[in-house]
Amino acid sequence: MLHQIPVALVLYGLGGWSWVVWGVLVRVAACFTMHWYIAHVAHTDGPQDWSVDDAAIQGYNAPWLAIPTVGESWHSNHHAFPASARHGLYKGQIDIGYNFIQLLALLGLAKNIKLPENLPSREGLTAESARAKEAARNF
């Protein structure tokens, strides 16, 4: 977490200790809490587009958490294609994290972005929904 020190120094210079508290401590605490929460919710129950044979834990989608988790809530898709930069695979699946990666690519700061369509096929992957079965033809 040493990378927070330069951020804290800049925030302190701009606004003092209150900026450090909100810009570092509260932000990091909120991010960790959301990460733990989505890990619990997305491994418990919900809609599922994909299942992975012999996986100890399956991933489920939590659409209502798409915005605060920046797209990580499309966890069924993430379990199906863990190396993919895009988690929101279908129309209406908000994936702000992937949108940011697209911006980085546009600026020339990201290359060789991994997506389901350019990843090697995966054994033991079962399409569970109609849209996943349709997409499986392209992946």
pLDDT at 1: 78
Share of the chain above pLDDT 70, in %: 100
Q: Spell out the residues 6+ positions from residue 70 whose beta carbon is closer than 8 angstroms to its own.
A: 95, 96, 97, 100
- Ranges 54-58, 102-106, 110-114: which has the least confidence: 54-58
pLDDT at 122: 86
Residue (of 88, 133, 137) closest to 115 by Cα position: 88
Sign of CA dihedral 93, 51, 43, 84: negative
Query: pLDDT per residue over 27-75, tens digit each?
Result: 999 888 888 888 899 999 899 999 999 988 999 999 999 998 889 899 9
More confident residue, 137 or 115: 115
pLDDT at 31: 85
Residue (of 88, 35, 99) closest to 66 by Cα position: 88
